[in-house]
Chain A
Amino acid sequence: KQEVTQIPAALSVPEGENLVLNCSFTDSAIYNLQWFRQDPGKGLTSLLLIQSSQREQTSGRLNASLDKSSGRSTLYIAASQPGDSATYLCAVLGAYKYIFGTGTRLKVLA
């Protein structure tokens, strides 16, 4: 059974820092991996999608990498800003179902 873990569960950093969020999964037979952002009480906003054949994707200050063989993905946020404060979730797709991690709650201090 696929399990997705995100470490750390919470993170507090000063503005301007570069940071890395981690996502690990137990079954490497995935079709894609997606990173989301969730603000309190809101739905999920898609940030990046990495297909299983890809190694990384970039969008602005965000870069996500995927290593299927080791069951890991990282989300790199460059030059963090207070507006980046949110919960970040990863989800892996296998057998028609997405399995989500429980998220990393990020707070960027001004």
Chain B
Amino acid sequence: DVKVTQSSRYLVKRTGEKVFLECVQDMDHENMFWYRQDPGLGLRLIYFSYDVKMKEKGDIPEGYSVSREKKERFSLILESASTNQTSMYLCASTSGGTEDSYNEQFFGPGTRLTVL
């Protein structure tokens, strides 16, 4: 059974803390994505990676960075957490080297982050 796992389901942090969210997939997928989901705004892409050590900015990268040292693991880093980063964070992965070969996108269970 294919699986995308995220390190925490719920997380509470203080303003200014450095926060690490980890995502692991066991499907040998090339592409991995980080989204945030907010009521009324839907899912918005923060960063994505199409290969190890490669990363591309999504639509809302400000305040975030990412790391992909191994194919199966994609980490999202909040350099200095702020209250407006309180959100549901979702990780996803898909196979395919180019867009026309992309397959299903699989999601993790999400991390509900609260920044106080």
Our verdict on whether A and B bind, yes or no, reads yes
* Interface-located stretch among A20-28, A66-74, A98-106: A98-106
Give the B interface residue count (CB, 8 A). 28
Number of A-B pairs whose CB atoms are under 8 Å?
56
Q: Nearest chain A CB to B114's CB is how many angstroms away?
A: 13
Q: Would you call B109 and A43 a contact (CB within 8 A)?
A: yes
Tell me the complex Cα distance, A6–B41, Å: 13
Residues of B within 8 A of A31 (CB): 99-100, 102
* Interface 0/1 of A15-36, CB less than 8 Å to B: 0000000000000000110101
Q: Would you call A43 and B42 a contact (CB within 8 A)?
A: no
Q: Would you call A98 and B103 a contact (CB within 8 A)?
A: no
Q: Would you call B99 and A43 a contact (CB within 8 A)?
A: no
B50 within 8 Å of A by Cβ?
Answer: yes
Q: Would you call A101 and B42 a contact (CB within 8 A)?
A: yes
Q: Would you call B110 and A34 a contact (CB within 8 A)?
A: no
With A49-B103, A94-B99 as contacts: A43 and B58 at CB distance below 8 Å: no
5 contacts between A and B (CB under 8 A): A41-B110, A46-B107, A93-B99, A97-B59, A101-B42
Instruction: Mark A residues whose CB is within 8 Å of B.
Output: 31-32, 34, 36, 41-46, 49, 52, 89, 91, 93-98, 100-103
